[in-house]
Chain A
Amino acid sequence: MNMMTRHGAALKVENCGKTFADGTCALARATLDIAQSETLVLLGPSGCGKTTLLRIVAGLETPDSGGRVLFDGKDLTRQPIEKRNVGMVFQSYALFPNMSVADNIGYGLKLRGLPKTERAARVAELVALTNLGGLEDRRIDQLSGGQRQRVALARAVAIRPSVLLLDEPLTALDAALRERLRGELNDLLRKLGITAIYVTHDQAEAMELGDRIVVMRKGAIAQVGTPREIYFTPANRFVAEFVGAANIIEAPIESGELVLPGGRVPVSGRDAMSRAVAMVRPETIMLADAATAGLAGTVDSVRFAGDRQRIIVRDAASVPLAVDAPNTVNVSAGERVGLSIPPAAIRLLPEED
């Protein structure tokens, strides 16, 4: 098997925007570099332009003039999708209902004029890789959702594409299956080592699958970074709130401390500011003794989630604070609790919007 010898192309999206005929701007001009064999996730709410960007890379949409799409340095902007050698996995899977599983997987190879024996060998290789053994002759309507998703992936990978493009491939599945397939998909992408662009609105999916994440909002890129960068050092309030849970606290700063209704919390850096928008993740706040802690509040509600519990504390900050506590801690509504927040866990965000 020579699957590991090809890792797809390095991609460059240069100055690509998309304005539709009626004047709506679906995507502001964006530039992105995608390294060979990197998995890049486009993350954002619906209507943020992530699918438009994917379709521009695929060749299903042409960018506004001036925009260019380069595969390994070669300008393919004017090439339609059928000339680009891209593998695509759709949300609906888009499997051909008039063909068997094997014929679906082998369709791209057939179009390329690959001799029958080679085609069969390649299809067998992919059937093994995607655990579809024994289902080769099934019709598509005889497959489960997870199996369909794997056939779609095998079909896209069969042609040894320059880039694998996945448009919300797990959205159509139920939650439990989605989580399992997310793991399988991750393993498969690592095994294939192929350049991939993955579109999703699910931040957990983005974190697990992405080498880098592009967070998008209203047709523009809000931040590009590794999952850790996006999570720990969000560039702005939107990214902080969209990726994971976040407490956003607006408060004045006095002598290096956030001044809150329930006490004071030291922050590191940027002493010069007089007011700040600060982000604190729920899991970084620790419960402490109410009498001695610098910050205190009243427990508003406790939501037990099994592996942990989310405690909502009021009166500590201007907004109720979400605190993730271990599942062994015993607190109840109305109780006074102290909170301790390490200075490193407080991320000051630029004031905007």
Chain B
Amino acid sequence: MSHKSFVWICLLPLAAVTAAFFVLPMARLLVTGAEGPRGLAEYLAILAEPRYRATLLNTVLLAAANTIATLIVATIAGLFLQRHRFPGRAVLVAILTFPLAFPGVVIGFMIILLAGRQGLIGDVSSRLVGDKIVFAYSIYGLFLGYLYFSIPRVILTIMAAAQKLDPSLEEAARSLGAGSWAVLRDVVLPALAPALVASGAIAFATAMGAFGTAFTLATNIDVLPMLIYTEFTLAGNLATSAALSVGLGVMTWLILALARSFTGNSVAAAG
């Protein structure tokens, strides 16, 4: 047996698994999406139907806002944690990355404990101003949940990237007269750009598709995964939910691909 055919035979199990659990269901999903009363036009509904379009927009805005907020918080925290050594630092890093271990349902539950009807924020606010602030069951609760979800991943990526940053680069910039902001703008952020794009893309994709948290908080939050769920289970609308699933997948994949190509370029530029 030649070396080449041996390799091909070794790849067979992978091909079988890929076909059975990835290619076939995907194909089925694509076909199902076009089998509704509207046929192929079902795929356009995600853009044409005002309710779907609003939900899509909502989801993208939520994911984008979540990504930006995560990047800001996590970059500051990641840089700080990478550069300072203090007692309790290891514990703090462990706590910050703890949410990685939680499924979305637990995160949702924690948001309810924080900002739900019996939540901590409501408790404190009703005692202080006599008004019970509750936002766990809205898009704001979901935003907070996703933030909680994304920050650990991004912090870890930023810390790893910041560790590789040559400290003499910053010292060189300072010797030339750069203050803290100029160093951040001209040296640190450009060097972190690939890590920011990569981890930001992951945060975005997570927020686009996360279902557990949304489902735990409320069933009527207007995000795409919830819409797919209600179309499927409540309305029994198989074709629409399949088409929406494909739409969500394509959308997220497009943004990830875009981010990846951008990262590729900037990595090359950074040498």
Contacts and interface: CB of A to CB of B under 8 A. Distances in A.
B175 A82 contact: yes
A112 interface: yes
B182 interface: yes
Nearest to A111: B177
Interface of A: 58, 60, 80-82, 84-88, 90-92, 94-99, 107-108, 111-112, 139-141, 152, 155-156, 159, 165
A94 B191 contact: no
A81 B179 CA distance: 10
Contacts of B190: 96-98
B176 A97 contact: no
B178 A94 contact: no
Nearest to B189: A98
29 contacts: A60-B171, A81-B171, A82-B176, A84-B175, A85-B177, A86-B175, A87-B175, A88-B171, A90-B168, A90-B171, A92-B166, A94-B169, A94-B171, A94-B172, A96-B172, A96-B173, A97-B190, A97-B269, A97-B270, A98-B191, A107-B173, A107-B178, A108-B177, A111-B178, A141-B271, A155-B176, A156-B176, A159-B176, A159-B177
Given A81-B171, A90-B172, A98 B177 contact: no
Contacts of B187: 96
A128 B20 CA distance: 65
Contacts of B131: none
Contacts of A108: 176-177
A88 B179 contact: no
Contacts of A156: 175-176
A262 B169 CA distance: 58
A349 to B, nearest CB: 38
Which 10 A-B pairs give the minimum distances between C-beta atoms?
A141-B271, A108-B176, A94-B172, A98-B190, A94-B168, A88-B175, A90-B168, A111-B177, A82-B174, A97-B270
B191 A97 contact: yes
A94 B177 contact: no
B186 interface: yes
A97 B169 CA distance: 9
A84 B171 CA distance: 13
Contacts of B168: 90-92, 94
B175 A139 contact: no
Given A97-B271, A98-B269, A141-B271, A82 B169 contact: no
Question: Chain B interface secondary structure, helix, strand, loop or mixed?
Answer: helix
A82 B171 CA distance: 9
Contact of B270 (A85, A98, A165): A98
A343 B175 CA distance: 50
Contacts of B169: 94, 96
Contacts of A99: 186
Interface string B172-212: 11111111001000110011000000000000000000000
B180 to A, nearest CB: 9
A90 B167 CA distance: 11
User: Which of B166, B171, B186, B190 has the most C-beta atoms of chain A within 10 angstroms of its own C-beta?
Assistant: B171
Contact of B174 (A80, A97, A159, A165): A80
Interface string B254-271: 000000000000000111
Contact of A139 (B166, B171, B269): B269
B186 A81 contact: no
Contacts of A165: 175
- With most chain A CB atoms within 10 A of its CB, the pick from B172, B174, B187 is B172
Contact of A111 (B176, B269, B270): B176
B255 to A, nearest CB: 24
Contact of B182 (A87, A97, A111): A111
A139 B268 CA distance: 10
A107 B186 contact: yes
B174 A139 contact: no
A112 B177 CA distance: 7
Contacts of A86: 175
Contacts of B178: 82, 107, 111
Given A58-B175, A82-B178, 5 more contacts: A94-B166, A94-B169, A96-B186, A107-B178, A112-B177
Nearest to A103: B186
Contacts of A90: 168, 171-172
B166 A81 contact: no
Nearest to B169: A94
B167 to A, nearest CB: 9
Contacts of A81: 171, 174-175
Interface in B106-135: none
Contacts of A97: 190-191, 269-271
B176 A107 contact: yes
Nearest to A88: B175
A90 B175 CA distance: 11
